[in-house]
Amino acid sequence: MVEQKFGTSGASKPQYRLVDLKVHQLGTIRARVSWNWTRPKQACKLPCIMTVFALIVINKAGGLVYNKTFHENGLKKISTNDLLVLAGTFHGVHAITARLNPIKPVAPAPGANGVINRAEPSSGLEVLETENFRMQCFNTMTGTKFLLFTDSTQVNVDVTIRRIYDLYSDFVMKNPFYSLEMPIRCDLFDRKLLSYIREINNR
């Protein structure tokens, strides 16, 4: 294993690193040389701070019922119409990906007299990760979807989105004035949610 860096005269140009060099003896005179080049990942231009950017809630019909931005310098702001398109598009993509799971043979359970148990359905698209952000989906049993946008380095996203769902259950679903599948307008839920996300972003 040989490791050596080769760069250019410009300081801003990337460097390449030789991580593997092998010499294969073909005879008394000839030899074949093979190598492997890798380019190190570029460092993040912005400070890599673990941050929760935004939350979107989609009802079981694919309609946008809630959206909240928590970090002004995070994701680029988009219009309400674009948010509606995003909600409907993700709803359709999620339904398609839920049907793309590989078919696995299911053996009958012991004592089932040859009756084959039906395999559990796929959960569909759960995580979408890019260089700048990470989107994680939590799909409830009733079909409501929570889309949480965070920094790509954010940890324990599952715990965060589960806590948000608990707040939703306590302050939205238990609100006698809230109508199911309608836009969420609950001040107490907003305050509890902002307080929880503020604790995460200020760590």
Same domain as 94, residue 15? no
Same domain as 70, residue 32? no
Whether 18 is covered by a domain: the verdict is: yes
High-pLDDT (> 70) share of the chain, %: 64
Owning domain of residue 64: 52-100+121-201
Whether 97 has a pLDDT exceeding 70, the answer reads yes
Whether 110 is covered by a domain: the verdict is: no
Whether 68 is covered by a domain: the verdict is: yes
* Main-chain phi, psi angles of 126, to 5 degrees: -115, -40
pLDDT digits (tens, 9 = 90+) for 167-176: 999 999 999 9
- Residue 107 pLDDT: 63
Whether 108 is covered by a domain: the verdict is: no
High-pLDDT (> 90) share of the chain, %: 43
- Residue 112 pLDDT: 57
Same domain as 182, residue 150? yes
Same domain as 175, residue 91? yes
- Residue 105 pLDDT: 59
Whether 67 has a pLDDT exceeding 80, the answer reads yes
- Residue 8 pLDDT: 42
Same domain as 193, residue 138? yes
Same domain as 32, residue 127? no
Same domain as 75, residue 31? no
Same domain as 34, residue 90? no
| Calpha distance 69→195 (Å, rounded) | 13
Same domain as 127, residue 30? no
Cα dist. 31→23, 25, 180 in Å? 7, 5, 73
Mean pLDDT lowest among 15-29, 92-106, 184-198: 15-29
* The total number of structural domains that make up the chain: 2
Same domain as 21, residue 90? no
- Residue 98 pLDDT: 86
CATH number of 67's domain: 3.30.450.70
Whether 138 is covered by a domain: the verdict is: yes
Find out whether 94 and 145 touch, Cβ atoms under 8 Å: yes
Whether 47 is covered by a domain: the verdict is: no
Whether 128 is covered by a domain: the verdict is: yes
What average pLDDT does range 129-142 have in this prediction? 90
Same domain as 84, residue 167? yes
Same domain as 28, residue 72? no
Whether 121 has a pLDDT exceeding 70, the answer reads no
- Residue 139 pLDDT: 93
What average pLDDT does range 136-160 have in this prediction? 91
Whether 152 is covered by a domain: the verdict is: yes
Helix axes 187-201, 157-171, angle to 10 degrees: 160
Q: Please give the residue that has the higher pLDDT: either 69 or 107.
A: 69
| Calpha distance 177→136 (Å, rounded) | 29
